[in-house]
């Protein structure tokens, strides 16, 4: 793939990323205005209880879109808004994060693989950008690509991680929707809203993975051009 095509792909993905972010915000705004009878905290606690998971704590964390499951200390961490609000969007997010807790409890393969990569990724993320910058400098001055190769190898690890994240996120959403449906905490139209909200949230991970892949291909093209 030539550099011109890669630049076009980068531009397209930037546009798609903006569009997905815009749609996600608008969808969450829409579904946050549809009330249900349970707060995000109550939804999370109910889902964990019904799956027989007793060693996971539901906590509140500051910020927006900071919701996550921490497998190290077994906590479902909900942003202040999700934790306290009782609407379709908050319930969907809370159930999604509990979906990760269910994955952990059942040793879901993709989550296990992703968790094993975290220590390596932390090291990679710490040094990667500096090695790539140094590699680009060395490449420009000496035409030697080997420092850049090291940086690109580390970047490839983060790209792999972003793609492994995709089945983890989609599966957590599927578990969330299945439980919401079975628990009967929403009407059918509200359940459709929860599905829609989680679909757009998942799209952000898809765009991030594709963006990482295109950037990786760009760095690889730089190395290959110098070798030629």
Summarised one tens digit per residue, pLDDT across range 64-95 is 889 999 999 999 999 999 999 999 999 999 99
pLDDT above 80 for 220: yes
Q: Where are the domains of the chain?
A: 3-227
Beta carbons within 10 angstroms of residue 98's beta carbon: 28
Confidence of residue 6 (pLDDT cuts 50, 70, 90): confident
Beta strand pairing status for 57-61 and 68-70? unpaired
- H/E stretch holding 79 reads strand 75-79
Q: What is the pTM of this model?
A: 0.91
Size of the chain in residues: 228
**Residue range 166-217, pLDDT digits in tens:** 999 999 999 999 999 999 999 999 999 999 999 999 999 999 999 999 999 9
Write phi, then psi, for 69 (nearest 5 degrees). Answer: -105, 130
Report the distance separating Cα 61 and Cα 53, nearest Å: 21
| Helix/strand/coil percent split, the chain, to 5 | 75, 5, 15
């Amino acid at each position: 793939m030539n550099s011109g095509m890669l630049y076009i792909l980068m531009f397209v993905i930037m546009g798609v990323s903006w569009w997905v972010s815009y749609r996600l915000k608008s969808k969450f705004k829409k579904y946050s205005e549809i009330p249900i009878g349970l707060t995000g905290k109550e939804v999370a606690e109910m889902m964990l209880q019904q799956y027989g998971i007793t060693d996971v704590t539901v906590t509140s964390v500051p910020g927006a879109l900071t919701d996550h499951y921490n497998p190290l200390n077994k906590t479902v961490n909900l942003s202040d808004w999700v934790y306290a609000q009782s609407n379709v969007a908050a319930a969907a997010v809370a159930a999604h994060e509990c979906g990760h807790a269910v994955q952990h409890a059942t040793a879901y393969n993709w989550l296990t693989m992703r968790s094993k990569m975290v220590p390596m990724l932390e090291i990679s993320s710490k040094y990667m950008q500096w090695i790539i910058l140094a590699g680009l400098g060395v490449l420009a001055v000496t035409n030697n690509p080997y420092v850049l190769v090291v940086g690109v190898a580390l970047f490839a690890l983060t790209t792999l991680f972003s793609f492994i994240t995709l089945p983890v996120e989609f599966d957590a959403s599927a578990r969330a929707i299945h439980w919401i449906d079975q628990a009967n905490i929403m009407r059918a139209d509200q359940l459709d809203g929860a599905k829609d909200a989680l679909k757009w949230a998942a799209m952000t991970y898809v765009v991030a993975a594709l963006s990482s892949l295109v950037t990786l291909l760009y760095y690889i093209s730089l190395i290959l051009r110098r070798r030629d």
